[in-house]
Amino acid sequence: MAKKKSLPVYALAFCLFLGGVGYMVWAGLSENSVYFLNVSEALAMPGQELKAARLFGTVAGEDISRPANGLGVRFRLQDAEKPGAVLWVDYSGVVPDTFKPGAEVIVEGGMKNGDFLARSLMTKCPSKYQKENREAPAGV
């Protein structure tokens, strides 16, 4: 007789467990979801939708400015496939050593007043670091 009374308790506990797991998954996905776009796709979206985005493109050769304190950079991010699509990026952190005109970069942040305010800036490693482009040392 005791087994019949415990079945509803287990069912209720299981439903509460599933509800808790479902909420944690929903909360985690909604907070950490960001768009991964190229510049032309970002320009086609309304600015209010780009509160959290990750953009990739190429650093345009001109108009790179750095503040006097040495931290950060303001530059134009150019779409790799559509060079006419350009977006201003403001970044206030430490700039990677490989950052230069023509470098492929990924910036993460959001749009504000027509500019992209980046929280992070990553550069793609130049091809000189790839294994197939290195020469073997003499005598090997």
Task: Read off the pLDDT of residues 100-128 as tens digits, 9 standing for 90 and up.
Answer: 998 899 999 988 888 899 999 999 875 55
Q: 52: Cβ–Cβ under 8 A, 6 or more apart, which residues?
A: 33, 34, 35, 109, 110
Burial call 37-54: b when 16+ CB within 10 Å, e when fewer: bbbbbbbeeeeeebeebb
Specify the pTM. 0.65
Would you state the pLDDT for residue 89?
Answer: 93
Query: What mean pLDDT is predicted for residues 6-11?
Result: 85
pLDDT tier at 21, thresholds 50, 70, 90: confident
* Cβ–Cβ < 8 Å for 105, 77: yes
pLDDT tier at 133, thresholds 50, 70, 90: very low
Would you state the pLDDT for residue 1?
Answer: 47
Query: What mean pLDDT is predicted for residues 88-97?
Result: 90
